Amino acid sequence: MALIDPGKKAPAFALKDQDGKVHRLSDYQGKSVVLYFYPKDDTPGCTKESCDFRDNLLQFSRGKATVLGMSILDEKSKAKFAKKYDLNFPLLADADHAVAEKYGVWQKKMRYGRSYMGIVRTTYLIGPDGKVLRRWDKVSVDGHAAEVLAALP
């Protein structure tokens, strides 16, 4: 599927976080949601990005926004990652990459001349009405959380 453009309805989902709690996009109606897709738990870029969101979490909540991280692997992997880096927000387990596909971030990638399917680092800012306000493609992790914070409505 294609990436979701600003102005379009964000696809619904129901996924478990690192504590086994189910999160639905509809649970956050009336609030802004920062939904960031990262390739894999406990890898250098993903760790840096997640810790950056963690360090800015208070400012996001002041801006009436919820931060949700999402990647492949199961809740157990998410729990280990969250505990290791004190990540105090939901990390959603999209083990079968169905939600990543709905959001268009499950794409062909190249590494060391080998092609494979995986999550392309992408962030969506979803408005209180459930529509995409903004999308960041092929995210560079340095300063990304601050950039998203600045875009909050």
Catalytic residues: 46
Q: Residues with Cβ < 8 Å from 126, sequence gap 6 or more? A: 10, 25, 28, 32, 33, 34, 35, 132, 133
Q: How many CB atoms lie within 10 A of CB 2?
A: 7
b or e along 83-100 (b: 16 or more beta carbons within 10 Å of the residue's beta carbon)?
eeeebebbbbbbeebebb
